[in-house]
Every structure is written in structure tokens, then in C-alpha cells.
Structure 1
Amino acid sequence: MAVDFKDPEYYENRELSWMMFNERILNEARDPKLPLLDRFKFLSITASNLDEFFMVRVASLVDMVHAGYKKKDLAGMTAKEQLDALRTVTHEFIDRQYTTLNRALLPALEKNGVKLVDSYEDLNDEQSKYVDTYFKENVFPVLTPLAVDSSRPFPHIPNKSLNIAALITTGKNGSRLLKDAEKEGDISFATVAVPSVLPRLIALPSDSDKESDFILLDQIIEKNMSKLFLNYNVLCAFPYRVMRNADFELDEEETSDLMKEMEKQLKKRAWGEVIRLDVEENMDKRLLNTLKKNFHVSQEAIYPIHGPMDLTVCMDIYGLDGYDDLREKEFTPQVQPRLIDCDDLFAEIRKKDIFFQHPYDSFESIVDFIKQAAVDPKVLAIKQTLYRVSRHSPIIAALAKAAELGKQVTVLVELKARFDEENNIGWAKMLEKAGCHVLYGLVGLKTHSKITLVVRDDEDGIRRYVHLGTGNYNDKTAKIYTDCGILTCNELIGEDATALFNMLSGYSEPAYWNKLLVSPIWLRDGFYKLIDREIEHAKAGRKGRIVAKMNSLCDKDMIARLYEASAAGVKINLIVRGICCLKVGIPGVSENITVSSIVGTFLEHSRIFYFYNDGDEEVYMGSADWMPRNLDRRVEVVFPVEDPDLKECAKHILEVEEADNLKAYYLQPDQTYQRKDRRGQKTVGSQMTFCEEAIQRTNEYLESKDNETYTSRLFKPALPPEE
């Protein structure tokens, strides 16, 4: 009987899989072997991740339930079933976050001489006076207390803002302003926002030089609430926080100006439906009912919090000055040895393609590529796609400079990059003013590809230089995300790059591509052919092997193809950082598939795809995950790594990560993720290995008297023998 590889039983729900990914990050916060402040950092990351998850994914499910959407997902779950499951899982997850904070991290922090005052009632006299003075001089002028009555309706509470709600009543003297409207003892609701423009973590005077005390800004405001409502008695005050639906649909075909429509939609985002309400665990029931009624939330959407509201404040604790011994030593990205003494980057590229593995290899080399192109009199044109860039991007500045110098500069700025829309709109306007041709991509598609094309008039004619990568042109995140890229002047890739930009700027649809795999039309079929070829080899009795590294795997058809390959005998190793809807260990379906997920200091972000091809190995890298949106609804670019030395570099990354037994979690048949038992084995941490290799390459180069004698050595992990 033929196996139905698309049986929902063979698939994990996407949202529940993402929650397991966030759980793996929480495990880092719970790991006592890590430096203490790094554990606070990981806890903060779980909180910011969860915020975005609610604003987009949970919000989308809420919309589906409201619309009566009945279609099931790849795992056979309706939107209502998914939402119900997530409410349970997220409540439990938040409980574990605060258990980690209260029982492990804060006590350990206090042992190291740093105390976060739990409540303003715990302040000593000196600290209490200091807090009151700080409030009067720094906080009070910024606050706007808002009362609610018949003439002042319930105010709009911004998304993700931290607020303090209070019940107040008129005192014995009453209110001269409202003496006819209120009687003594009448209870009113009031709220005040904790200003995000002020630091939330406030240092307190301490009796000891060896100890530091801190208090949260919200505690300071709560202590001084009576000063905001003179002639009133504050009966109680509790913090709360709302999460709103930040997901929206943009009808690009019906708008004549995409930028104006995007700006209009961004304003609407602030008024999205409340889909999560965080309240202090013991909040007064009268306050809670008022919030519940005005925000129109169900009981399931209310999350009682036992500790500081909004755990992203843990990133402030991570950044405390004077405690470097409680943080992992920061790694300094290394300049590629070939580029250390390089005066002419274009000449170096002509010699041989250059491979980059960020953040181990410095991203500054890519920035320099754009900067040099901007001022090089031989450069005629620069074309680049931008998805997410930093707030003070040197790349943007270089592109503007190039346009001012008279070069043809074309920049595709993706306005629909979620939560970077406003930033990108600002950059697009600035680039247009500088004289750049600014594109917004194809209607209905996000442009997620990472590509730069530089056209240069070399001595032997026009030549195209291309940078292709797996990550964004963001000099800030390039220090904490792992990504790969190449610089090349390969003629066929240059032709493809030109065709790609012509496709994005006009209506030119290439008949074929020389080297690149491009979505939404060509990429899916390209991957199918590569997988099918391994299936053919396996069925013919030859070795079939696939290694694929990506951020997420949730495309049903792609997973079904992998199941078919596994059933045919192809050995498949998947390194998937986040969402993975594939299940391992299913007899006759996925017995030949392993899945690992690496969670470490750096965010794993590169996409690398390896196919054994009966010994004629092929390696690809690119911007696309195996998700429906990447394969069908985005412009993505996947490129071959053909230079033998560069191919070895890409293979080496996969080999080391496959051998990781320190930071890798392995998916089990019961859908849990477990770390390997390292007893009796050499410890291999892939990120640590790559850091050491980068430093070693630099040192070897600097110690070498003759550059011609320099050879790069790669760490070879001890891999188990293949079956």
C-alpha cells in the first residue's frame, strides 16, 4: 500500500513548533553553566520573541476565528483548535519564564552583589528619599495621569506600553472641580503610562561599595501615585500591559502609491484589537474587570504576571556597567586574511571569489565593497536590494554618496519588511532625495533576496561584480547573526544579477537563469529537481545524501518530498533553527532524517543546501527558507557555490554544525528536543569553533612572512561513521 506522505499525522503544527523553539531559548536562560548576565539576555529574547508572536501569529489566528475560517492547517488543526492550544501553551510558558527569573536568576544576581528591589515597600529610608526626589525631578514632569468618567472616556492604550491602573476616590475635602459630579467615597478608574523615554532600571544609593541596588521605574511611579491625583485617595495601583494585533493586509493592486498606503496602514496598527492583556497576579478584581471590559478580552487572553511586567527589561540588566565578569567575552569579527592588506577589493575579487561567514568574518568588508564602489570613478552603476538595515546605515550613506557623484544607483527598498516599515520608508525618501532610483518591488511579493550588483568599467571592458548573501545588509545585526555570502565577478552570475534587477524594476521575465534559483517561479521546482536526483541515486543503489540548514521548515510539499527521499533511502540531515513541521522517526517515512537546532550566542540565520549527487557534490546558499512564503510569495535568490575552495568552506560549516553536541538540540520521535549525551565524547560547540578558527586564520596570516605561504586550516570534527 502506497504511503500518503501528506497525511496530517506526519506534520507538526507551525505555531506549536515555534513555541518549542522559544522554549529552547528559555533553556539557555535556565542553564547554570552560562554566564549569569547572558542568561538574563536569553530571557529577554524569549520575551521580545513572544511579543512579536502574539502581535502577528496569534493575532492572525484570532482574525481567522472571528471570520469563521474552517480550513485546517498541514497538521489537521483548525484556527480555533490552534488558538486554544496556544492559549494553554503560552500561559505555561510565561509561568516558566517567571519561575526562571524569580527562583534562579534574581537570587543568583543578588549573590553577585546586584539586587533588584522587589517592591518600593522594601526601600530603606535613604533610598526612599532618593526615589521621591528622582520622581519629582525626572519623572513627574513627563507623566500624564488620565482619569475616566462621563466626560473623559477610557483612553487609547498604545501597543506594548507599560501602564499603571489605579482606583481613586475623593478625599474628605472633595474636589472643587468635580464637587457636583462626585461624592465622597465614589470610586473612579485612572491610568498613567510608564514613559518609555526614561530608563526603566534606576540605580539606588547603597550602603556598600560591593553591592548595587536597582528599582524599576514603574515601582517609583506606583510609590508616588498620590502625587498625580491630589485631593484623591489612591485605593490601589497595579501595572498592566496590552498586546495588540499588529498584522495587516495591504491591497497593493488597489493602491496607486504604495508608500502612502503603507504609512496609512501603520497608523491603523496602533488601534489593533487587544489580543493579550498582562496584569499583576494579585490585581484588584474591580480594576481587572474594568480593563477586561474596556479592552474586550476573554479570560483566556488575560495573563497574570508574578514579577516585573515586560521581561525585555532583562536586556537592561544584561547591559549593566561594571560586570563584565558575568558576561561572555565579546567576540571581535575578523577581517578575511585576503583582505587585511588589500588596497583594491575589485582586483582581489578578479583573482578569486571570496567567501564570508559572518559574524566570524567581519561584515565591514561588505560595507567597504559598497563604499569603494560609491567613490570609484570606474564604477558606472550600483544596484542593491535592502530588506532590513540599521538606523545609521553606512551602506545607505554610501549609496546616497554614489548617486550624488553621478553614478546610476538603483535601490529596491522593501517597504513591507514587518516592524521595519517606518524605518524603510524613511530610508526610501532619503535615497530618492539623493538621486537614487528607488524601487518597491513587484506587486503582491516581498523582495527578501540579498544581492548587490556593481557595474565597473575595467581596463579589459565592462565587468559585473556581485555580492550574494543569506542575511540582511545590516551592519548591526551582522555582528550577532550567523550568515554567509560571496563576492564574485563570475560572468554568468553577473548576467543573472542584471536580469533579476530588470525583473524587479520593469516587466522583464527571464526565459531562463544561468546559475541562480529565483522565487516565486523557479525556486521550488529547482529544489524539487535536486531532491528528486538524490532519490534516483538512492533507488539505483547509489548513495543519496542531503544536508540542509535553514531557519524554518514548514512547507508541506517540500516536507513530503523529503519524506519520499527518506523512504527511498536518502540520508537527510536537517539543521533547522526554529520552526520545523517535519516529524522524525516515522517508520517507512522519516527514519533516515535527523533534525537538529542550534541555539547559542549568535542567532543562526544562514541557509545552506548540500546535495551529494553521486559524488559530484553541489552546494547552494541563499535567502530562502523552506516555507510557503519564501517559495511562493517572495522574491528570493539561492545561488550555487562552485569554486572548489569556497565549496569546502560551506561544507565545513555543515560538518561542524552536524557534529555540535554542546549547543545543538536534536528532534526526537515524540516531538521533543533533547541535547546529546556528551559522556565519553569530545565537546564540539560549532559557534565556539568558528570563533577560534577565525582568530587562528588572522594570527597565522599576521605571523606569516610571505602571504604566498599562508594556508587556511579548518577544524575537522570527529564525525560518527556513516551507516
Structure 2
Amino acid sequence: MNKSMSPYVNRDLSWIEFNRRVLEEAQDSNNPLLERAKFLAIMSSNLDEFMSVRVAGIQDQIKAGYTKKDFTGYTPDGLWKRLMRRASQMVTDQYKAYREVLRGLNKEGITFRTMDELSAMQLHAVDEYFHEIVFPVLTPMAVDQSRPFPLLHTRELYLAVLLGQEEMPPEEEPFFAIIQVPSILQRLVPVPCRTNSKKKEFVFLEELIERHISTLFYGYKTIAVHPFRLTRNADLTLNEEGAEDLLEEIEKEIRRRRWGLPVRLEFGKGMHPYALQMLKEELEQGDNIIEIDGPLDLSFLMKFASSLPGYESLRFEKIEPLYPQEFEETDNIFSVLRQEDVLLYHPYESFEAVDDFVTEAAQDPDVLAIKMTLYRVSGQSILVQALAAAAEAGKQVTVVVELKARFDEERNIAWARQLEKAGCHVVYGLVGLKTHAKITLVVRREQQMLRRYVHVGTGNYNGNTARLYTDIGLFTSHPVIGADASALFNEVTGYSSPYEWKAFGVAPTDLKQKLFTLIEREKGHAAAGKPARIIAKMNSLSNQEMIDKLYEASQAGVKIELIVRGVCCLRPGVPGLSENIRVISIVDRFLEHSRIVYFHNGGEEEIYLSSADWMTRNLTRRIELMCPVFDARLRRNLFNILQLNLNDNMKARELLPNGSYARVNNELPPMRSQFKAINIKKWKTYR
């Protein structure tokens, strides 16, 4: 390794590399056109969140005069400059891909028009739409001595308008005004088809508003109209210790988020210098300004590509998740779980089984209690309705709702209130810790005894994302797991002295140490000349101690294979440091979200499911859960899933020692792990 190179990749630079892999999917001509459009939207949304949280934090450090280097060797100022260069180049490449996708859509009969490309008939139709639908919603906001610069909302699209009057001297400053482009209206306005044309044509809402700008400023002449967009600091800064009511404190912080400090200004190419200067001064943005050659905020493409009727040939083939075979022949899930554990792999297997598990528990007269953690749930959640019904039926229902799930705080507050009204015991977790564990416990009376049924997941209890994310769910009635589940809920909801976990690893108390112990055990096997192997699949790896422990294991001869979708601060393949470590990332149709850890353990294989990535926040500032899979058949199924990922040579990228990624390139037959996983019978064994 180059002596000047840090043994660690910087977390934020690694994230930029991840978002570039998302962009590569938009650039990939083998992907269907509307799916490429979705990847462009995902990249935009990712970058928005990155700017509003990570970059905002770096800017705060710079403003505070913080100059200390992080463990990867970067000062805040040096890191910020490098991030901005890479982000700017990535945005340039994104809009190049956008124009390529547009050309492809145009050939398929889907066209985005400019106003001057419309026929007289089409102009008449969109003008009517403006006057009937758009105009009543618009509010022009003049900026002058009597009307101060308005509060601009984060991530909303605006138009900066420069106006003049007749006989106005050229040297006189123009009048300045702002119009918000209403996000409640569709960004792309459908245009009636031309005669004998089967094309679907659209114009941008902001361009339609610009066409009619004079109707909003009667008596003034328009000098220039330019779109712009602001991103604000969106990180919550809660004082949980001093908050008497956490729910109220979070509601206040959500309102404050609307006027967090600006961190990025985007504007359309060729903006009038006076308008740009006004925005820079008022928003105090000097360096972090980005000129965009195209429509601002491509996240609109997600809704557009998803809702456009027809054009199925321009999308991935639909996949209907299979209902798990183990539950197909029964109307009593508990009777199945008394006989065997069941493993689900979403989205290939249906999340309806989880809904049915909780719904059945809510309706079963022998169920006495249901306890559940909720981090992010979907709209009109069946689970929330079932929990409410169970409480109304007199069962003891306890729900740990995480109010601090970033950007889902308002939705979770609404669920919390709904559940409380139904009679559920709603707990907001422990001060200073997010509850990120995904677990449900059902306590059922059976033959003069109580039996516990548990569901443990790697992903959220969200039926919508379960169709888009790959996640694992385990159903079990194993008494050791049930006892640990009860202890976990007791620790979160009440006073409980430290518990000696029989099966679980739980953060922040002992998960990291348990992982260290398991890694050390594998080192011991290697030292004894036995085969030693670790496979770990997660979203992110950034904890320095964990990376150092993996480096030690590599140097001891342990073979380590990591499947890390996003941030990875470990450098693999470095002689003398990590030559026994391989890292791949898979970005494909579904978001790889499951966390699975495998230890060879001298042939006595162990596999764990977890809610935790190997990041400092997950290991030290969150309530996280790692659960063993005791059933040998299910362990084999999980190993098969890991092997599918490791053998992917179509969508897998390999992390190189310099921190960049390259597509996996080998002589093996082409294999796309997500497409292989669809055929459940190929990797899943049943009794």
C-alpha cells in the first residue's frame, strides 16, 4: 500500500462511490428505459439526503473552526472540497444520462416538449390548464423594502423572476420576485396528442408558469425567469435529556427543519447574474452552488415512471412475491411454528405472511400479548390496524415506536397517536438511543402454559418497501429466542438490570463485543490450521474498531468475504493488511438491505440475522439486534443466498484497494443474483 494512503476509505467519499453505482444503473442500456429513469430519480433523492445531513454536518464543523483530522486522514475543509468536486462531476454525468434516457423515450413515443414545440391546439389546451388549475394555486412573492425575502422551503422548486417597467433606465436595478412551483401539482403536464399521433407528450410545469408569468405581475415586463432550489440542514438536534415530552420535542424539531441553515443552492443554466447574486446574498451561499443543465430535481422521474400507464416493455418484468409454502396449507400459523422455524426472503416471498402473523395473533383468543418495534411502516399499514384491533379486544399490546426515524418522524407520530387511542402501550424507546431492532413477540396460552412466538427481521415492518428491498425474516417458537425477546422488550420499556443474553447480541451493550468474540474464534481456528471463513452482508461498514478486527483476522489467515451495498471504509486486498478480504457491492433492481453474518466455526457453522450495519451509530447509539438461526436447514438456505450474491458477475462491483469500484469480470457464465433468487425452489429447501 502507498505509504501516504490511509488504511481506511473515508465514509463520505465511499458514499459518493455508492451513489455513482446507482447512476451506473441509469447509464446501463441493458436496463429498461423507465427503470433507468427511476435510477436517475433515486440518485437525486440520495444526493439530497446526503447534502442535507452529511454535508450539512461537515459545514457545521467548518463554521465552528474544527480542523482535526478524522481517522481516515481528512479535515472537514479538505473533505468538503473533495466531496463537492466529486458530487459536481456526478451531477454532470447524471444529466448526460438523463438526456440519453430522454432520447430513448422519445423513440418509444414518450416526449418532453418545450413550449415553442407545441402546436396551436396543444398551446390552447395547456393554457386552459394553467388558468383553471395552476393560476389559482400560485402566490407571487415580491422582494423589496416593505416585503423581506421569504422563507424558502427545503427541496422545493422555485422561480426567480426579474421584472422591469416601461421607460425604466438600463442602469436601474430590476424588481425581484419569487414564485414557488406547486409540488401538489404534477411536475409533467400531459399535452393532448397531435392529429394522427400516438405519442404521449408532456411539458414541465415550471415552463408553463414561465409562459404565463405576466399574468402574475400585471403592468411589468419580464426580464428573466429562472428555476432554483434550496437544500437545508435537515439533521434533528434533540435535547432528549431536557425534553419532558419526546413526541412534542420532535414535532418542534420537524418544524425547525423547514428553516435549517441552507447547505446547497441549485439553479438552472444561464441564470441572470443579478438574480443569482440576490439568491447568493440572501441565502448566504458562496461556494456550494450548482448550475444544472436541465430540469432541477430529477426525483420527479420516480412517480412519472411508476404511474405512466402501459409501456410494460420499458419496465422490469413484474414479480409477484410467493406466499411461503410452509404457511400455504394452514389457517393457523402458530401450529406450523410449533413444528418448525420458517425463513422468508423478501421481496421474492410475500410480506403478507408477516401481516397474517400479527393479524392472526390479534384475532386469536388464546393470545395474551403482542409486543412489536416499529421503525418505518407503510401508509394504511395492516400491522398498525391489527395492533389497534388487538388492544381494543383487550390484549396487552406494547409498541416501541421510533420517532427519530429520519424523514419519517411525522408519519411515525401519526401512528403513535393512532395506536395510543386504540389502547396500545406506546413507548418511544430510551433516551439517546434509536430503537432500530426489528422484532415481534406474541405470547400465547397453550395447554396450561405460555408459549412465545417471535418474528425477527433485517428490515422494517413496511409492506411497501418489502416489495422493493431484499430482506430476511425469521419466524420461530424456539424457547431461548423467546426468552431473549421478552428480556429485550423489558429493557426497552421498563427498568431492567443488564441481562445475560442466551442467543441475541444486542447493541449498544454487547453486540460489538459478541462480534469481536466470534471473529477471534475464527482467528483461533486459522491459527490451529483449520479452515476459517467469515461472510458478512450489510448496508455499510464504517466502524474503525470493527475494520481493525477484520484486518487482524485477515492477517491471521481467515478468509473474509464482505457484501456491502453502500459505504465501506475498509480497504481490501492490501498486502500485509487485508489480502484475505474481498468486498463486493450489488446495486440492482431491488435495494440490497439484508444483514447476514456467517462464521465457518471449524465446520460447526453459525449464521446470524441482524438489524445492524457495522457502523459506529449502530453499534453504540442504537438498540440493535443480532439473532442466531438454529435450524440447520434454514442456515443452509441463508448460505445459499450469500453464495448467490458472491457469485454475481453481472451487477456486482468489487472494491479495489484505492477505494474505487470495478465491475466483477470473470470467465464464469453470466449470473445475476437477484434474478436467480426469484426461482425460490433453486435455493430454498423444505422439510
TMscore range, shorter length: over 0.9
CA distance, structure 1, for counterparts of residue 291 and residue 400 of structure 2: 44
Name the counterpart of 1:16. 13
Match of 2:505 among 509, 517, 532: 517
SS at 1:546's partner residue?
A: strand
Given the alignment of the two structures, is residue 334 of structure 1 paired with residue 329 of structure 2, yes or no? no
Q: 1:661 to 1:183 in 2, by over 3 A?
A: closer
Name the counterpart of 1:126. 121
Q: For 1:17-166, what aligned pairs fall within 5 Å after superposition?
A: 17-102=14-99, 104-117=100-113, 119-166=114-161
**TM norm structure 1:** 0.92
CA distance, structure 1, for counterparts of residue 170 and residue 579 of structure 2: 74
User: Do 2:641 and 2:683's aligned partners in 1 also have CA atoms closer than 8 Å?
Assistant: no
Q: For 1:187-202, what aligned pairs fall within 5 Å after superposition?
A: 187-202=174-189
Note the C-alpha offset of 1:607. 0.3
Match of 2:284 among 287, 296, 301: 296
* 1:36-71 alpha-carbon deviations (Å, 9 max, x no partner): 111001111000000010010000111111112223
Q: For 1:367-516, what aligned pairs fall within 5 Å after superposition?
A: 367-516=355-504
Name structure 2 gaps, 5 residues minimum: none
Note the C-alpha offset of 1:74. 2.0
User: Do 1:170 and 1:183's aligned partners in 2 also have CA atoms closer than 8 Å?
Assistant: no
Count of aligned positions = 684
CA distance, structure 1, for counterparts of residue 242 and residue 127 of structure 2: 55
CA distance, structure 2, for counterparts of residue 31 and residue 509 of structure 1: 54
Note the C-alpha offset of 1:496. 0.6
Given the alignment of the two structures, is residue 554 of structure 1 paired with residue 542 of structure 2, yes or no? yes
Note the C-alpha offset of 1:447. 0.4
User: Do 1:554 and 1:581's aligned partners in 2 also have CA atoms closer than 8 Å?
Assistant: yes
User: Do 1:334 and 1:694's aligned partners in 2 also have CA atoms closer than 8 Å?
Assistant: no
* 1:112-138 alpha-carbon deviations (Å, 9 max, x no partner): 111111x32232222222221110011
Runs of 4+ in 1 over 3 A off after TM superposition: 182-186, 694-697
Q: 1:184 to 1:527 in 2, by over 3 A?
A: closer
Q: 1:82 to 1:186 in 2, by over 3 A?
A: closer
CA distance, structure 1, for counterparts of residue 263 and residue 663 of structure 2: 34
User: Do 2:375 and 2:460's aligned partners in 1 also have CA atoms closer than 8 Å?
Assistant: yes
CA distance, structure 2, for counterparts of residue 519 and residue 509 of structure 1: 15
* 1:655-674 alpha-carbon deviations (Å, 9 max, x no partner): 11110111111112232211
SS at 1:370's partner residue?
A: helix
Note the C-alpha offset of 1:96. 0.6
- The one-letter code matched in structure 1 to 2:137 is V
- The one-letter code matched in structure 1 to 2:592 is E
User: Do 2:487 and 2:499's aligned partners in 1 also have CA atoms closer than 8 Å?
Assistant: no
CA distance, structure 1, for counterparts of residue 302 and residue 323 of structure 2: 29
CA distance, structure 2, for counterparts of residue 200 and residue 76 of structure 1: 43
Name the counterpart of 1:310. 297
CA distance, structure 2, for counterparts of residue 443 and residue 309 of structure 1: 39
- The one-letter code matched in structure 2 to 1:150 is Q
Note the C-alpha offset of 1:339. 1.0
- The one-letter code matched in structure 2 to 1:188 is F
User: Do 2:565 and 2:586's aligned partners in 1 also have CA atoms closer than 8 Å?
Assistant: yes
- The one-letter code matched in structure 2 to 1:19 is I
User: Do 1:201 and 1:316's aligned partners in 2 also have CA atoms closer than 8 Å?
Assistant: no
Note the C-alpha offset of 1:392. 1.2
User: Do 2:507 and 2:619's aligned partners in 1 also have CA atoms closer than 8 Å?
Assistant: yes
CA distance, structure 1, for counterparts of residue 44 and residue 171 of structure 2: 43
Superposition RMSD in Å: 1.8
Q: Mean alpha-carbon deviation: is it higher for 681-690 or for 574-583?
A: 681-690
CA distance, structure 1, for counterparts of residue 255 and residue 166 of structure 2: 40
Name the counterpart of 1:658. 646
CA distance, structure 1, for counterparts of residue 493 and residue 231 of structure 2: 38
Name the counterpart of 2:605. 617
CA distance, structure 1, for counterparts of residue 81 and residue 177 of structure 2: 32
CA distance, structure 1, for counterparts of residue 225 and residue 682 of structure 2: 54
User: Do 1:385 and 1:413's aligned partners in 2 also have CA atoms closer than 8 Å?
Assistant: yes
CA distance, structure 2, for counterparts of residue 72 and residue 455 of structure 1: 51
Note the C-alpha offset of 1:216. 1.0
User: Do 1:245 and 1:272's aligned partners in 2 also have CA atoms closer than 8 Å?
Assistant: yes
CA distance, structure 2, for counterparts of residue 424 and residue 591 of structure 1: 45
Q: Mean alpha-carbon deviation: is it higher for 336-345 or for 408-417?
A: 336-345
SS at 1:415's partner residue?
A: coil
User: Do 1:578 and 1:597's aligned partners in 2 also have CA atoms closer than 8 Å?
Assistant: yes
Note the C-alpha offset of 1:185. 6.8
CA distance, structure 1, for counterparts of residue 440 and residue 333 of structure 2: 15
Q: 1:366 to 1:32 in 2, by over 3 A?
A: same
SS at 1:636's partner residue?
A: strand
Name the counterpart of 2:621. 633
**TM norm structure 2:** 0.97
SS at 2:6's partner residue?
A: helix
Q: 1:120 to 1:695 in 2, by over 3 A?
A: farther
User: Do 1:236 and 1:284's aligned partners in 2 also have CA atoms closer than 8 Å?
Assistant: yes
Note the C-alpha offset of 1:712. 4.5
Query: Percent identity over the alignment?
Result: 48
User: Do 1:169 and 1:184's aligned partners in 2 also have CA atoms closer than 8 Å?
Assistant: no
Note the C-alpha offset of 1:183. 12
